[in-house]
Structure formats: structure tokens, C-alpha cells
Amino acid sequence: MSLVEIESFTLDVQVVEASARVIHEVSFKLEAGQSIGIVGESGSGKSLTLRAIAGLSPENSVVGGKISFQGEEVSAMDRERLMQYRSSQVAMIFQDPRSAINPVRKVGDFLTENVVTNLGWSKSDAKTKAIEVLTEVGISNPEKQLKAFPSELSGGMLQRVMIASNLLCQPDLLLADEPTTALDVTTQSSVMALIDQLRLSRGMAMIFVSHNLELATAVCDKILVMYAGRIVELLPAENLREKSRHPYTRALLDARPRLDGRQNRLNAIPGQPASGLEWTQGCTFAARCAFAQDICRSEVPVLRKIQESDVACHRADEIDWDVS
Amino acid sequence: MRRYLWRRIGLGALTIVATTMLVHLALYLAPGDPIGYLLNGQPATPERIAALRAQYNLDEPFFTRYVSWITGVFQGDLGTSAAFNADVSTLIASRFQTTMYLVLISFVFISVFGLTLGILAGLHKGGIDSFSMATATILSSIPAFVGSFILINVFALQLGWFPAIGGGDGSLSSAISHMTLPAIALAFSAGAFVARTTRASIRVESASEHVVTATVRGIPRNKVVSRHIVRNALLPVISLGGLLFVGLIVSTAFVEQAFAINGIGGLLVVAARQQDFALVQAITLILVISFVVVNLAVDVLYWILDPRIRSEVA
Amino acid sequence: MKKLVLATGSAALLLLTACGGAAAPESSASGEATSSGIELVTSTPAGVGPVDNVNWNLADGEPLSLDQNLSWSGSQNFIGNLMCESLLSTTPEGGLEPGLATDVSYTDATTLVVKLREGVTFWDGSALTADDVVYSIDKARTNEVSQFVGDLAAVASVEATDASTVTIKLSEPNSLIRGALSTGAGAVVSKASAEGNANFALPGDTSMVCTGPYMLKEWTAGSKIVVEANPTWWNKGDGKQLTKQITFSFITDPAAAVAGYESGELDGGFLIPASSIKALQASTVGTLGFGDGSAFGAWVPIVNTERSMSNPKLREALAKSLDYANIVATETAGAGTPAKAVGVPGSWGNEKAAYQAAWDALPDPVTDLDAAKKLVAESGVSNPELVIAAWSELPDSVNAALVLQQAANSVGFNATINKIGFDRAADLFSGAKKEDIDIFATTYLSFICDPLYIYSQIGLDAGSANWGGYSNAKVSELITSALATTDDAERAKITIEIQSLLVADYAWLPTTTYPSPFFMSNELSGAIPSGPTHLWYAWAVNLGTAK
Ligand SMILES: Nc1ncnc2c1ncn2[C@@H]1O[C@H](COP(=O)(O)OP(=O)(O)O)[C@@H](O)[C@H]1O
Ligand SMILES: [Mg+2]
């Protein structure tokens, strides 16, 4: 039994009275302690997929398929079980800690809210542990920081607080949604290193959403590439650079951010990114794909195994990527 | 904090001077001669007219008038009301207390009605939302005098629960029984405004990412609502308080008339209509001071409730 | 200076008074029923039981002073007369009775002798003296803002002959001075409390001292005035001062006042605005009545110009164009009667039979458009201009002007409306030539129950209400002789002659009598609602429980 099993996950959202599918037939598995990176342009459905694992979907949306955690279907959990699941088994780190942490409550309250409210810890226990984890994530003078308000801390510090808060309850799975994107370049790598180190030392599994391919390959075992609400390629991280086959993945690699950090959006692929909402007859990427042929415009490609990768491209085995 | 406070106080003082000067100028430039009101429509000899003009400084240029007025204010002399033939401070003192009771009690209703409806509507979509907002819209569209009429007829005349008219004898208990109906009448439109603002604020806050964080950490819904949605959503509503408060004092005029309450609002209307310089000025002064004081209080409250302000100022 | 019915507040309120018709003393009704069947009242049956407190509303607002010499509003007289008594009293039937004076008589055409009542004390225990009387009358006639300067203009000197006698010398004969001493002009205040007292009778001040049945207990400026029964009143007796305390409120908002009456928070009130009359007539907790009175409505033509109203034929034409029934209905809620002359029955105090006979002989005011058109044609002026003045801030005044405009135009005038502000009051209510106004409306009343009073004001060239500049040598001569006639019967004969001349000249165009609407709880009785008595006489002295 895998830690997380996603099978034919679909999501239909309400768009002006009508229902529209934004996530199409997403399936993958994550083993305990393993980490998967989900990459893709913005709007490709990364966050929706990630949140669905925590049982969190937009209002009025309809989830299809199956998402199970340790064999238990998330959508079948009752309210109480869901609370318990969220409070002790999964943890989430968001892109912008400044908006993800209630600005009018103290850092200490934020850190200990879950364990005090849901896990029944005493306030003093929680405080002692909070100081411990703050120290662990590299925050100096933790006692003082507990009394500080989020606005008094830098973004990097806040993200560390966010990470620390997730260590308190010892979850099995960490969901990280672009945890470094909003941080300045100099803190990005240290925060990422921290996440990686803590994850490994505690044996947590992780799903890491990013559009920084480099970062994803560095901290993940597998890479899952999404485009327009679909998985286009799933492959071992070490294979990404040299053995990836989907033209979209290749395009992402070419368009990866420059190291000076000035351009951190994946916008160098010609054409507009498509969202899962857009209905096409064939491959959604065909409109932007240099290799598209008639079949690409008429038939939706399905994931198929080519060597170690799963690729959804009609021409994946024809194109010879010259990676030198 | 201290520097911040001083800056606010300084700004407040400036507001007071500028506003009173503007009002002074407006009165000075207003068409019509206040002497007509001073004579109360009676035939008068030229000597009497001249005497009245001198008594009320009507012939002096604008700046002289303003200076002599503000000097008087600092000496605790608000002047003599031409329309009421009485000392302005005497006229205002008891009425101010009455109006304060009215406004404060109204404030309680506005908070209870407005916040309850707003929070309910903000948290629930669909039926409860539509019902709450429709209630707010209907209440706010009732003109104060119609609302007063209905309240008087139902709760004072038919049911006899409250007195129909008057402001009570000055004690708190009589103020509460006398002011309940007028305070409700006064609360309608402001309450609806607060309801709408609260609803919008709750919606914004509900959709905010820190609420998602709390939810995804398994915090029960009721705690998410109280700790993360409502508490945060109320902050922008509080900042309305200052504006609302002064608006309420001004709009007491109708309600005071309908319930025969002798308050500041009604006094201001009479004073303005009769171009009673001293009285209009004094009431303006009170309004502006209340505005400044209430806003200062709101600022301090904000300072206490919203740590973001503190770090911004620091 | 006369009381003008010019409201500066939120509502146009009228001071309505009457000397009463020819009713028998024990009857409460004046016996006059109007066309709409409303019975006018001069007094209500005396109350029978004690009351701790009565809440009484005066709808024309808080007084600016309680000094009856200063006329700012009716409320100050309604409260003032409970406290400060006059030398003589006006009875509800219009007669004069002894008051603080046991006797006031003319010893010759220019001398009056006032005999003071012995043993009267002020509230503070001090004795009423001739000095107080001299001080009070001098105050009424010399204070430039006193409303009685005109009424007492003939007074040359007031002197204390001895401790209980005051002699008033006149500069010319004036038969109305005795009547004037029954009004606020003859109200006596304690000299000690008034002289040199800058706050005397001003809002909030309670230092005023008089002799009357009610004493000033509390004045909360902006809210209420409370008076309480004077336990040492010289005239106290069975059935008097049954009401221990009266709390006056000054609710001007009609709806609020109605709510107050209906809920029992107000026990009664004077000066009920026209808009509340219907609601209060339907009340089950109290009764809306109409007090008879000397008040009337009239159009005042400006006759001292070269313009249309200088032509008597055009004045007559205008009078015939007026829709009297409609005016009575809209302005007096049907309680009034079309007025044949300004000396309305409510202003008769003596020689009522003679006045009644003369009144019956006067032509009825009737609408006759054909006759009016004919008169306009005969005037020799084609399409004569008529500028009607209206107070821009009083909707009722503008409405009345619109009605007149329509009537005038229908008979051939070219009528327009000139909306004026209150700043024109001083000019309008004087004899000054007015070139931009041909006619304006007024509601006026006699302070004294003697028609000569109103006729001398509008008929003499310098009459205090001769705002239109009317001038007629014959009328002047008759008025002068009437003023010199102290015999009532003789004076009535001359006054009736003056009346017929002024009516024939259309000096003013009277429209309707103006009874005073009042409201009183069914639990109470005894208020005197008719004027001018209730302005000058302690109208609440018999107020008590109805049963
Ligand atoms: N609450 C929502 N309601 C409707 N559509 C949504 C909602 N959230 C996201 N979407 C749509 O779903 C698509 C995928 O969104 P998301 O998962 O946030 O993308 P990303 O890969 O950038 O994280 C987008 O096209 C977006 O427009
Ligand atoms: Mg995203």
C-alpha cells in the first residue's frame, strides 16, 4: 500500500453556472518517505491537485476518481476524521507565508494552534516544543519570536515558522506549494535546504510543487510534469535533464529561470499556457508544440510507458532529443 | 506609539481649526441677513437693528469675527445664541448629553444588527445571505421619519413598551427606556451599512490564504470562523466607527424631531436655518472634536488590535 | 408692536385667541357653530379633583423669555400668565374683571387711577406695592423690544400716588388703556427681582418673582419649564390650583406631538398644528376642541402706491374672487367662519348686542366671479398687475399665494408671486412704501376685547398694523373720537361706523376667523382654550381631574 494513491482524479469547477473540468484523469502514487515534484506553468493544476490530497477543493467543485491516504479514501472521511487527518498526518507549506499566516495573531499562537486545539497539548508543553522546533529551523531568540507578530518577521523567517509549525505534529506527508517562490533569492536555497533536511531526517514523504525544475530535481525522487490539468510526463528526477521526452518538459527545461533570479516565471515558451478549462480535441499542448502533427490535434494522447518515463505524447518515441 | 499619537493629535487640532474656519466662512458668505431672524419677524427701529448687529458682531470682517470667536472658545465662552436668546454652552450642555445617549445606544443596535447580519451573510452563501442582505436593504431604505412613525405606533402606542416621545430626565435608566426606539430608528441605515461592509469583509477574509492554512491544519470550522475570519474581518469595520459616529450625530436631527428629543441634531438644523452663528459654530466645534476624538480612539484601538499598523509605523 | 403670525421655526403656528361670543357664563360653548358643525369653546368645565402633574405642550417652541412684555412666541404668554398677573383680568366672555387692581377707572379723558388690591404678596413673601406696578408698566411701555409700546403709546407718565394707588396720565385720550392693563401690558413683576437683573426671565433663569397662582420652579433650557402651585396665592379657593404642577414641553414636530398625546405622555396642549387635527379628532384618550377667538386671516393690500391695490374697485374685485369656503376648510380645518370684517365676534367684549346687530347687517363674504370680472372691467385698468408676496420658507404661505393667484387671474388680474425671505419682515410689517408687493397674507388678532383696538391699528394713518398705507380722513377722525370716548355704548356706536367704512373701503380683505385648536386628555378638565383670555389670564387655574 502506497502512502498516497491517486487514481483518475478529476476536478470540475463551477464556471458561470456551468461545470467545467480543470483536472483531467490524474493518477500517481507516492510511497512513504518518497518525494514527488509537480512542475508546470502556472494554471496547470498543480495547486488544485496538491490541495485535493488534503481534502481541500474549491467551493462548488466536484471531485472525481480516488485519492487515498494509507489506503483510506480522503473523500470518504467524515468531518472528525478529516480534522484528525489534517491535524496530524498531512502538513502544508504555502507559497507566501505572509498571507498564509494570520497577521493579527502572534507567531506563538500560530505555531501552537494546531497541537493545542486539536491534539490536546497543554499550552506550556506546546510552548516548550515550539521553542525547540524554532531553534531547529534556525530561528534565533525563539522565545522572543513567539511573542512577535508576523509583520515583525522577514519572509524567510516566516516560512521557517511555517515549516516549524508543521514539525510539531510529526506528519507523514508534507505538501509544499512553491514554498520558496515568494522569498528573495538568497533565502530561497537555505529554506529549501532546510525543508529537504528536515524531511529526510524525519522520513516524511513530500509533494513539492514548483516551477523551478532545478530545485525540484534537487529535492525530489520523481518529477511529475503537468500541463492544462493533465499529467504529461512522470519520470525519476535524475532522468529529467537527459531522458525526458515530452516536448513540453523539454520546453520547460529550456525556459528554466536564469540563475540571477530576475526571471522566475516560466514564460519563455512561445504562446499562452492553456488551462484545463480549455477544450481541445487533441493534445492541449499541440497549439504551442513545434512537433505537432495531425494526430496531435485530433486525438488526446494517453500516458504510456517509455523506458522509465510515463509520457503522454503521440510522438514521444519519434523525437530524438539531443541532450549534450 | 507616543510619536504616532502626537502626530495624530496634531492632525486633529489642525482639522478642528480648518473646519471651524470653513464653517465660519460659509456662514459669513451665506446669502440672507441673519438680522431677519434676530428680529423674529418683528418691526424694529433702526436703533434696535444697529444694537443687534453690534451685539452679534454682524458687521465685522470675517477674520476679526473668527479670531474673536476662537479667543472666546479658549476662554470657555461659546457666545450667545441669537435664535434662542441664551448662552450657547447652557443650550448645548444638556442636549449634548441627550444626543450622546441616543448615539451610543444606537451604536449598540448598529453593532448588534449590523455585525450579526453581516457575519451571517458573509459566512453563509445562499438563503441566509440573501435574507440578511434583503433585511439590511429594506431597513436602510426606510426613511428615518417613517421608521420612527412605525416604531412609535407599534411599540409605544399599541404595545406601550416604551415612551413615545421625549429624551428622559437625564438618568441612564430613563435614557435607555426613552432612547431605545429612537436609537433603533437611527440605527437602520447605519446598521445596514455596517452589515454590508461586514459581509464584504468576511468574504474577503474567508477567501484569504491564512484561513486555508487554518483549515488545512485541521482547526475546527467554528474556531476558524471566530479566530481567523471574524476577528480579522472586524478590523476594517472598526475603522468605519469614527466616521459612522459623527454621521450619526448629524443624522439625529430627523429622529430627534420625530421623537421630540431635545438634542444636538435638531439644534443644529434650527441654528443653521436661522443663521445663528454662535450656535452653528459651537455645534460644529463639538462635531469636529467628537470626530477627532473618536478617530483617535479608533486609531489607538487599531494600534492595539492590528499589529500590522505597529510595524508599519515603527 | 403687535404679535405677528410669522413663524420662524419649522411650522407656521398661529396665536389664536377669542373674547368669546354671547354665551351664558355657565356654558362652556360659545354657542357659535360653524358651517362644518364644529362647536367653538370658550372654557371647559372646571376640574373637580387634584392632579400632581400635568404635561402641557406648546407647539410654537420654547419661549425666548418668560417676560410677557417681549413677544417672541405665544408660549411665553401661556406660561407667563400663570405666574405674573395683570391689573385687570379678561374673562372668557371678554369682560374685564378686577385682578391685582380692585379698580381701574378713568377720572377724566387723560387720567386713569389704579387701586391696588390689599394684602397681595409676591412668591418671595414681599408685599405688592405701587412701586412694583409703576416699574412694570414703565417696563412694558419703554423697553424698545416690548410688544406693548404701541398699546401704551398714549401713556405719558405712571406714578405712585400712595402705597396702593397708581395714577396713569395720558398724553391724549385713549379709551383702550384700561383694556391694555388686562393684557401682558398690565402684568406685574417684582421690581426687586427684575431691576438690574440681566438674566431676568431668560432661558434657564428662575429668578423671576411675581404674584400669580403658579411659581416658576425649573427651566431646563432646551427641554422644559416646570411651574408649581403657589400655596399663598391671594385668590386661592375651592376648585382652584387643583393641578399642583404643570410641566411644559415645546414639541414642534406635529407627528411627535400626536404620539405624545396618544401615549398619554402629554396631557394636553395649545397651538395644535393643522396637520395634526384629523389624527387628534379621532383620539380616544382626549378631545380636540376649538377655542373661540379674536384671530382672523386676511389679505393685506398695499394701497399707498400707484399700483392696482390703490384702486378700491380692484380690491373689491379681489375680495369677490376669494373662495371663502375653501380657505375655511384648508386653513382652519373647517372650524372657522368666513369673516365679514376684521373685528370678528371673538373680539367683542362689551356692547355685544350692538356689535351683533351691526355684524348681521354687514354683507356676507361671498365668492362672485362675475361681479369681480365686472369690477375689474370697470376699474379702467386692463389686466391689472397683482404681485402677491409669500414667505419663501413657509410652504403654507406659498400655497395660499398660489390659491390667490389662481383666483385673481380667473377674474382678469395678471397675478404673480414674489417669494420673500424673513429679512423682509421689518419692511413688510411697517407703513413703508412697498413697490414690489401688492398684497400679502397675515393672521392677526386683537389683544383686547374691543373692536376699536384692531380698527385703530389698521385705520389710523400711523396705526401700528397699517402696513398697506391706508389713509382715510373720515376714518381717522372717527377713530380719534372713539379713542376719546370712555363710555362703552357711545364708543361702540362710533366703532360700528368705523367698521362699516373700513369694510366698504376694503382696507383689508378678511378671509376667515381662526379658532384655536387645543387638545386635552379626557381625564382632565378646566383649561380655558379661548383667546385672548388664555394669553393674559391664568388659563389653567381651574384645571383638574374631569371626574
Ligand atoms: N477556486 C477555483 N475555482 C475555479 N477555478 C479554479 C479555482 N482555483 C483554480 N482554478 C482554475 O484551475 C486551474 C488550475 O489552477 P491551479 O491548480 O491553482 O494552478 P497552478 O498550477 O498554478 O497551481 C486554473 O486555470 C484556475 O483558473
Ligand atoms: Mg499554484
Which residues of chain B neighbour C9 with C-beta distances below 8 Å?
A: 270
B293 assigned to some structural domain = yes
Cell of C392: 419663501
Cell of B169: 430626565
Comparing alpha-carbon positions, the chain B residue that sits nearest to C4 is B42
Coil, helix or strand at residue B59: coil
- With 0-12 / 13-18 / 19 or more C-beta atoms within 10 angstroms meaning exposed / middle / buried, residue B173 is exposed
Percent of chain C with pLDDT over 70: 93
B213 assigned to some structural domain = no
Measured from the Cβ of residue C399, the count of other Cβ atoms closer than 10 Å reads: 13
Regarding chains A and B, contact by 3 or more CB pairs under 8 A is answered as yes
Beta bridge partners of C390: C419
* B93 to chain A, closest Cα gap in Å: 41
Separation between Cα atoms, residue C448 and residue C186, nearest integer Å: 12
Place A69 in a pLDDT band, splitting at 50, 70 and 90.
very high
The secondary structure of residue C338, as a DSSP letter, is B
The number of the ligand 1 atom at minimal distance from the alpha carbon of A229 is 14
C286 assigned to some structural domain = no
Of C62, C423, C430, the CB nearest to B36: C423
ipTM value: 0.83
Same domain, B51 and B101: no
Separation between Cα atoms, residue C240 and residue A16, nearest integer Å: 82
Contact C472, C503 (CB under 8 A): no
A262 assigned to some structural domain = no
| Residue partners of C393: CB distance under 8 A and separation at least 6 | B273, C421, C422
Of A292, A271, A270, residue with least CA distance to A281: A292
C424 CB near a chain B CB, below 8 Å? yes
Same domain, B150 and B254: yes
Same domain, B259 and B112: yes
Same domain, B14 and B123: no
Contact B4, B22 (CB under 8 A): no
Place C157 in a pLDDT band, splitting at 50, 70 and 90.
very high
Same domain, B147 and B125: yes
A102 assigned to some structural domain = yes
* C97 to chain B, closest Cα gap in Å: 31
A47 lines ligand 1 (CB under 6 A): yes
Annotate C455-467 with DSSP letters as a single string.
Answer: HHHHHSTT-TT-T
In this structure, which ligand is nearest to the CA of A275?
Answer: 1
Rounded mean pLDDT of chain A? 87
Separation between Cα atoms, residue B3 and residue C367, nearest integer Å: 80
- Of C195, C223, C239, which residue constitutes the final position of a domain? C195
A248 CB near a chain B CB, below 8 Å? no
Of B209, B218, B305, the CB nearest to A94: B209
pLDDT of residue B56: 67
The number of the ligand 1 atom at minimal distance from the alpha carbon of A277 is 25
Same domain, C304 and C181: no
Residue with cell 375680495: C319
Cβ contact, residue pair A114, B219, below 8 Å:
yes
- Of B38, B73, B88, which residue constitutes the final position of a domain? B88
Residue A142 has pLDDT above 50, yes or no: yes
Alpha carbon of A44 to ligand 1 centroid (Å): 7
Q: For the residues A151-159, what does the mean pLDDT come to?
A: 89
Cβ contact, residue pair C8, B40, below 8 Å:
yes
pTM of the model: 0.75
Lowest mean pLDDT among B62-76, C224-238, C306-320, C345-359: B62-76
Domain count, chain B: 2
> Please, which chains are in contact with A (at least 3 CB pairs closer than 8 A)?
B
In which domain, by residue range, is C167 found?
A: 52-195
Of B270, B114, C248, B217, residue with least CA distance to A119: B217
Same domain, B80 and B181: no
- CATH number of domain containing C367: 3.10.105.10
Same domain, B34 and B172: no
* B307 to chain A, closest Cα gap in Å: 6
Of A39, A42, A36, A9, residue with least CA distance to A23: A9
pLDDT in tens, A168-179: 888 999 999 998
A89 assigned to some structural domain = yes
Same domain, B130 and B38: no
- Of B56, B88, B120, which residue constitutes the final position of a domain? B88
Cβ contact, residue pair B210, A149, below 8 Å:
no
C365 assigned to some structural domain = yes
* B12 to chain A, closest Cα gap in Å: 27
Separation between Cα atoms, residue C497 and residue C480, nearest integer Å: 13
Cell of B44: 424694529
Same domain, B239 and B187: yes
Same domain, B106 and B169: yes
- CATH number of domain containing B290: 1.10.3720.10
C356 assigned to some structural domain = yes
Cell of C26: 355657565
* B47 to chain C, closest Cα gap in Å: 9
Domain count, chain A: 1
Measured from the Cβ of residue C278, the count of other Cβ atoms closer than 10 Å reads: 11
Contact C460, C466 (CB under 8 A): yes
A58 lines ligand 1 (CB under 6 A): yes
Place B23 in a pLDDT band, splitting at 50, 70 and 90.
confident
Annotate A173-221 with DSSP letters as a single string.
Answer: EEEEESTTTTS-HHHHHHHHHHHHHHHHHHT-EEEEEES-HHHHHHH-S
Which residues of chain A neighbour B216 with C-beta distances below 8 Å?
A: 51, 54, 56, 86, 90, 92
B38 assigned to some structural domain = yes
A275 lines ligand 1 (CB under 6 A): yes
B23 assigned to some structural domain = yes
C455 assigned to some structural domain = yes
Cell of C197: 437683573
Same domain, B25 and B106: no
Q: For the residues C491-511, what does the mean pLDDT come to?
A: 96
Of B212, B218, B311, the CB nearest to A152: B311
Of B214, B216, B218, the CB nearest to A84: B218
Measured by CA distance, the residue closest to atom 6 of ligand 1 is A13
Of C344, C243, C333, residue with least CA distance to C298: C344
Contact B259, B266 (CB under 8 A): no
Q: For the residues C36-64, what does the mean pLDDT come to?
A: 89
Backbone phi and psi for residue B185, each to the nearest 5 degrees, phi listed first: -60, -40
Contact C135, C127 (CB under 8 A): no
pLDDT of residue B165: 86
Alpha carbon of A275 to ligand 1 centroid (Å): 8
pLDDT of residue C364: 92
A22 assigned to some structural domain = yes
- Of B88, B119, B141, which residue constitutes the final position of a domain? B88
In which domain, by residue range, is B172 found?
A: 90-206+232-313
Same domain, C324 and C465: yes
Same domain, C295 and C180: no
pLDDT in tens, B78-95: 888 877 777 888 888 878
In which domain, by residue range, is A201 found?
A: 1-239
Same domain, B187 and B67: no
> Please, which chains are in contact with B (at least 3 CB pairs closer than 8 A)?
A, C
List the strands of the sheet with A4-15, edge to edge.
A18-30, A4-15, A62-69, A72-73
Same domain, C174 and C314: no
CA distances C455 to A102, C358, C503, C513, Å, are 86, 15, 11, 16
Domain count, chain C: 2
- CATH number of domain containing A44: 3.40.50.300
Separation between Cα atoms, residue C6 and residue C426, nearest integer Å: 12
pLDDT of residue B46: 59
C206 assigned to some structural domain = no
Determine how β-strand C439-444 pairs with β-strand C224-229. unpaired
Backbone phi and psi for residue B304, each to the nearest 5 degrees, phi listed first: -75, -40
A22 lines ligand 1 (CB under 6 A): yes
Q: Give the H/E segment covering residue B68.
A: helix B62-74
Place C445 in a pLDDT band, splitting at 50, 70 and 90.
confident
| Residue partners of B51: CB distance under 8 A and separation at least 6 | none
Comparing alpha-carbon positions, the chain C residue that sits nearest to B83 is C64
Question: What residues of B are in the A interface, CB distance below 8 Å?
Answer: 125, 208-210, 212-220, 223, 227-228, 231-232, 235, 305-308, 310-312
